[in-house]
Chain A
Amino acid sequence: MMELQPGGIRDEEVDILLDDLLSLYGYDFTNYSRASLKRRIANLFTIDRFPSFAEFRYRLRMDHEYLLRFVQQVTVNVTEMFRDPPFYKTLRTEILPLLAARPVIRIWHAGCSTGEEVFSVAILLKEAGLLHKSLLYATDLNPGVLEKLRRGIFPMAQMRQYSENYNASGGKSDLSKYYTAQYDWAKFDESLSARMIVSTHNLVSDSSFNEFQLIICRNVLIYFDKELQNKVLNLFDQSLETLGFLALGSKETLKFSSIAPMYKQLENREKIWRKKE
């Protein structure tokens, strides 16, 4: 049996890899939460059966394909549709009605991974009759996960859970209305993806690229240290209209950041903040 131990990689070795990634490729992981990153690097080292750290490092330095694998494996790409249904219920009942009068609704899903949450929001917009005038910008640093998002095909095995989430979020019909089952896969309706703009964007190093009424970035900040969290929250602040909304993951907060005084959390304590006038 394979043993996965964080002891497989030492802290100094993590530092060496992070230096390489930054100097050779411009990927900056130095302000990521170290415990999770170290664990994932150690797991990858074990799974890919490198005989030594030196060979691991060499491969990462020399093989561009392996770089993509490395980045995708050490970042967390777990996501689901309608995760935390009360959050989606709040989007449905409180946020979308406030955006409805806009001629164009711009939403940024930052760190969207394979896009299950982007499709979830597209479904909310469709049910609110707003999808036709909405633009959903979906960004992530991994090109690989964005490829999956573009296809809009998700494992059929998860649809039962997603349907329960959808119903709990106040879904108006049946989730299955939005996809076609093909063997083990569910292919989502192209009318949903038609309003998505998909692009790589690195929250650590890339800048603001538009102004939005809603920015959704859930379970991304937990992987950053406080300094980087603050930097990214400032990037969101620059990218958000006055009276726009910022939505974070269920264990994330902007309470301790420098932008906190300019924002007000929703009354129902969901992790959604509105930018003050």
Chain B
Amino acid sequence: MEEKRIDNVQLLLIGGSAGSLEVILEVLPNLPTNLSIPVVIILHRKNFNDLLLIDLLSIKLSLPVKEAEEKEMIRPGIVYIAPADYHLLVEKDKTFSLDDSERVNYSRPSIDVTFESAADVYGPTILALLLSGASADGTEGLKAVKQNGGVCVVQDPAWAEVGYMPQQAIRHVAIDKVVNNNELKELVRSLKKE
């Protein structure tokens, strides 16, 4: 992956399911403290308290972490978490909107829904990251990111606690890079700073 494409990135999307929270907590502390792009995390979780999740990330990261709110402007340097039980979408004016429609891939929030709608707005300036999981969610979303010229990176299934989700993506999408956890840290460290 050329440096140039990483320099172009205006939005980091992260999708994760079973076994991904540990990776997020391990990798994201490497984000630059003066990061100049927003980060949006779509995490499947069952009955895991949202406030607890935000607290957990806030402790580990020096960047502000918050739940994405409907109609909120997407601002650089902030780590947004998709709220439980809603799909999170991105509007053309770079605000969030929420949707409580049917589950997609048995999930709400669904990674596909956010990735697809973000791809529609941010086009080639997206870096999308798919992590560990037992779900098929994320594959269609990465397809959309790819079609719109964005960069797709997945966690090496061998390194993932549950390899199914990244495996599905690798099988169906021309992934730009498959990374282990150390390479993932390098990657987030290299993201654009102020």
Contacts and interface: CB of A to CB of B under 8 A. Distances in A.
A206 to B, nearest CB: 23
A76 B101 contact: yes
Contacts of A225: 71
Interface stretch (A29-37, A56-64, A177-185, A259-267): A29-37
Interface string B47-83: 0000000000000000000000111000000000001
B94 to A, nearest CB: 11
Interface in B132-190: 140, 143-144, 147
B101 A36 contact: yes
Interface in A76-108: 76, 78
B99 A5 contact: no
Contacts of A252: 70
Contacts of A11: 92
Contacts, number: 66
A3 B140 contact: yes
Contact of A251 (B83, B89, B90, B92): B83
Contacts of B140: 3-5
B71 A5 contact: no
A251 B70 contact: yes
A36 B144 contact: no
A73 to B, nearest CB: 10
A222 B97 contact: yes
B100 interface: yes
A26 interface: no
A195 interface: no
Nearest to A229: B71
Given A6-B117, A39-B117, A33 B102 contact: no
A4 B101 CA distance: 15
A33 B144 contact: no
Contacts of A40: 101
Interface in A14-53: 33-36, 38-40
Contacts of B117: 6, 35, 39
Nearest to B103: A78
Contact of B99 (A4, A6, A76, A229): A76
A231 interface: no
Contacts of A223: 99
Contacts of A36: 87, 89, 97, 99, 101
Contacts of A5: 116, 140, 143-144, 147
A79 to B, nearest CB: 9
Nearest to B101: A76
Interface residues of B, number: 25
For the residues of B in contact with A, the DSSP-based class is mixed
Max chain A C-beta neighbours (<10 A), residue from B100, B101, B143: B100
B78 to A, nearest CB: 18
Max chain A C-beta neighbours (<10 A), residue from B98, B116, B140: B98
A226 interface: yes
B55 to A, nearest CB: 17
Contacts of A3: 140
Contacts of B121: 35
Contacts of A39: 89, 99, 113, 116-117
Given A35-B121, A222-B100, 16 more contacts: A5-B143, A6-B120, A7-B147, A33-B91, A33-B97, A35-B99, A35-B120, A36-B87, A36-B89, A39-B89, A76-B99, A76-B100, A226-B71, A251-B69, A251-B70, A252-B70
Interface of B: 69-71, 83, 86-87, 89-92, 97-102, 113, 116-117, 120-121, 140, 143-144, 147
Interface of A: 3-7, 11, 33-36, 38-40, 76, 78, 219, 222-223, 225-226, 229, 249, 251-252
12 contacts: A3-B140, A6-B117, A7-B147, A33-B99, A35-B91, A36-B87, A36-B89, A36-B97, A39-B89, A39-B113, A222-B86, A225-B71
